[in-house]
């Protein structure tokens, strides 16, 4: 069984709107055991729509279409579907009642344009749109199912969850499909691949591995397909246990976990608090920590010490240290971390000092040079990194690396 997604809309082709609908639909289908063969984004243009429907119909069993159902002139999906299915529009009392209800709730008056939205192609099954005026439309032709949905995300989402997925599941017997994403930090993709090569080569044939790198992390996704869902889940768990023996410190979580959430969880478990003293990361570590709901339970605060005088005055870094070693040095970052920890009376602390760029680099300390210090009740240390020459990525990498260092300390 193959599904295909067709996204209709000029706004997608000029890059004005990011196609989040297609990703969301793809995710929902996969979670239901339905594979997506491809996603096509096309313009609001009759010939293009007809051609795409024909091609999709020739190869796929399920075709989900979004967009082009609005009340304005540039929306031509409904008329084009009539042409494709060789049928005509006809007024539907049920659909009209839904529109009336919606307008009453919002206190608007129904216009002639809205009345036209109650017309649907004869032969299709209209699906109720509880959030908007354009109904979903379910068609069948030569054993292929076509569903047309509005492009407004929250309207489409309700339609898909409430009617389309249940409808598809009652029609098709789907196999079991299990995904698990393993989150790692600390090794670039190529070195990680080398290290887990043997494990990867010995994976059972029906488990597939994918690498998904992003700044400061490499995600590994294991996908298993088969008939028995719980057997697949067990197999994946078993493979993850093997992997944990190979890269025990690199794995920081699974699926939608984040480093800051993981650090928060460890702090909470141990009843510890944290603070940060940030120079080059400029508050980004504090931002990541406080992006997690409930972080006020363990995060007390930070001092962002961009100017040297703030490092001295608010963190207690010695003037002589700054003169002798500079702001970007092991000595300074260690004084920063002990300074924030004692002033904010926290159990743990993170400090950063580096040259984010693009200016400020020297031969000895090029742009990207970053000192990170970590302090826990048991240990205080600093490490130096060279991240590269892109300011934005340097800030991200320094923050992620710092969070991973404290995570490793708290996990050990």
212 binds its own copies (CB under 8 A): yes
Q: Which x/- pattern over 93-112 shows residues binding its own copies (rule: CB under 8 A)?
A: ------------xxxx--x-
Which region holds residue 86: left if phi is over 0, alpha if psi is between -120 and 50, else beta?
left
CA-wise closest residue to 170 among 32, 28, 24: 32
In degrees and rounded to multiples of 5, residue 118 shows phi and psi of -85, 0
Nearer to its own copies, 125 or 165 (CB): 165
Listed in sequence order, the residues at least 6 apart from 103 whose beta carbon sits closer than 8 Å to its beta carbon are: 109, 110, 114
306 binds its own copies (CB under 8 A): yes
Query: Of 372-391, which residues contact its own copies (CB under 8 A)?
Result: 386, 388, 390-391
178 binds its own copies (CB under 8 A): no
Task: Tell me the site size for its own copies, rule CB under 8 A.
Answer: 107
402 binds its own copies (CB under 8 A): no
What does the alpha-carbon distance between residue 69 and residue 357 come to, in Å, rounded to a whole number?
A: 48
Dihedral of CA 243/245/251/255: which sign? positive
Q: Which x/- pattern over 15-54 shows residues binding its own copies (rule: CB under 8 A)?
A: xxxxxx-xxxxxxxxx----xxxxxxxxx----x---x--
CA-wise closest residue to 186 among 233, 250, 125, 121: 250
CB of 184 to its own copies, least distance (A): 13
CB of 263 to its own copies, least distance (A): 14
Give how far Cα 149 sits from Cα of 67, 68, 209, 378, Å.
7, 9, 33, 58
Which listed residue (1, 2, 13, 229) binds its own copies by CB under 8 A?
13
Which window, 89-97, 119-127, 297-305, 402-410, contacts its own copies (CB under 8 A)? 297-305
Contact in structure between 164 and 172 (CB atoms under 8 Å)? no
Query: Of 319-348, which residues contact its own copies (CB under 8 A)?
Result: 343-345
CB of 280 to its own copies, least distance (A): 8
What is the distance of C-alpha 205 from the center of its chain?
A: 28
CB of 148 to its own copies, least distance (A): 18
Which listed residue (87, 223, 258, 342) binds its own copies by CB under 8 A?
223
What does the alpha-carbon distance between residue 288 and residue 290 come to, in Å, rounded to a whole number?
A: 6
Say how many residues make up the chain. 412
Give how far Cα 204 sits from Cα of 232, 239, 330, Å.
11, 9, 47
Nearer to its own copies, 2 or 87 (CB): 2
Q: What are the structure tokens assigned to 407, written together?
A: 């995570």
165 binds its own copies (CB under 8 A): no
Nearer to its own copies, 102 or 125 (CB): 102
Nearer to its own copies, 123 or 301 (CB): 301
Nearer to its own copies, 313 or 411 (CB): 313
Which listed residue (97, 194, 206, 242) binds its own copies by CB under 8 A?
194
229 binds its own copies (CB under 8 A): no
Query: Of 249-288, which residues contact its own copies (CB under 8 A)?
Result: 276, 278, 282-287
CA-wise closest residue to 229 among 165, 180, 167: 180
Nearer to its own copies, 82 or 395 (CB): 395
Listed in sequence order, the residues at least 6 apart from 364 whose beta carbon sits closer than 8 Å to its beta carbon are: none
Which listed residue (2, 46, 141, 300) binds its own copies by CB under 8 A?
300
Query: Of 134-153, which residues contact its own copies (CB under 8 A)?
Result: 152
For the beta carbon of residue 234, count every other beta carbon within 10 angstroms. Answer: 13
CB of 123 to its own copies, least distance (A): 26
Nearer to its own copies, 92 or 302 (CB): 302
Which window, 83-91, 352-360, 370-378, 400-408, contacts its own copies (CB under 8 A)? 352-360
On the question of a cis peptide bond just before residue 358, with omega within 30 degrees of 0, the verdict is yes
- DSSP assigned state of 111: P
What does the alpha-carbon distance between residue 180 and residue 238 come to, in Å, rounded to a whole number?
A: 12
181 binds its own copies (CB under 8 A): yes
- DSSP assigned state of 28: H
Which listed residue (206, 210, 324, 412) binds its own copies by CB under 8 A?
210
Listed in sequence order, the residues at least 6 apart from 309 whose beta carbon sits closer than 8 Å to its beta carbon are: none
């Amino acid at each position: 069984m193959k599904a295909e997604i067709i996204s209709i809309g000029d706004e997608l082709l000029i890059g004005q709107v990011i196609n989040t609908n297609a990703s969301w639909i793809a995710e929902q289908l996969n979670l239901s055991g339905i594979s997506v063969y491809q996603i096509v984004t096309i313009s609001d243009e009759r010939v293009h729509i007809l051609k795409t429907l024909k091609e999709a119909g020739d190869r796929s069993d399920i075709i989900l279409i979004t967009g082009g159902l609005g009340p304005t002139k540039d929306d031509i999906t409904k008329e084009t579907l009539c042409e494709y299915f060789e049928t005509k529009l006809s007024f539907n009392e049920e659909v009209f009642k839904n529109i009336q209800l919606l307008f009453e709730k919002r206190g608007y008056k129904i216009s002639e344009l809205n009345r036209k939205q109650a017309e649907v192609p004869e032969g299709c099954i209209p699906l109720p749109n509880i959030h908007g005026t354009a109904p979903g439309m379910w068609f069948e032709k030569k054993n292929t199912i076509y569903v047309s949905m509005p492009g407004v995300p929250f309207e489409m989402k309700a339609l898909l969850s409430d009617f389309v997925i249940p409808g598809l599941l009652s029609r098709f017997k789907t196999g079991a499909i299990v995904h698990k994403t393993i989150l790692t930090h600390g090794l670039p993709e190529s070195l990680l691949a080398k290290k887990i090569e043997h494990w990867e080569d010995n994976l059972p044939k029906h488990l597939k591995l994918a690498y998904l790198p992003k700044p400061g992390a490499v995600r590994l996704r294991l996908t298993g397909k088969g008939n028995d869902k719980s057997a697949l889940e067990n197999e994946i768990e078993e493979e993850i246990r093997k992997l944990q023996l190979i890269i025990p410190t690199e794995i920081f979580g699974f699926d939608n976990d984040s480093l800051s959430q993981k650090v928060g969880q460890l702090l909470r478990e141990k009843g510890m608090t944290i603070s940060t003293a940030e120079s080059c990361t400029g508050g980004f570590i504090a931002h990541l920590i406080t992006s997690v709901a409930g972080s006020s339970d363990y995060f007390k605060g930070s001092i962002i010490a961009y100017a040297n005088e703030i490092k001295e005055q608010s963190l207690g870094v010695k003037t002589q240290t700054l003169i002798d070693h500079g702001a970007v040095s092991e000595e300074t970052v260690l004084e920063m971390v002990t300074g924030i920890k004692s002033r904010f009376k926290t159990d743990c602390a993170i400090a950063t000092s580096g040259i984010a760029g693009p200016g400020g680099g020297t031969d000895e300390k090029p742009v990207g040079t970053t000192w990170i210090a970590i302090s826990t009740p048991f240990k205080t240390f600093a490490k130096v990194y060279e991240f590269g020459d892109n300011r934005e990525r340097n800030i991200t990498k320094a923050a992620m690396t710092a969070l991973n260092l404290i995570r490793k300390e708290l996990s050990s």
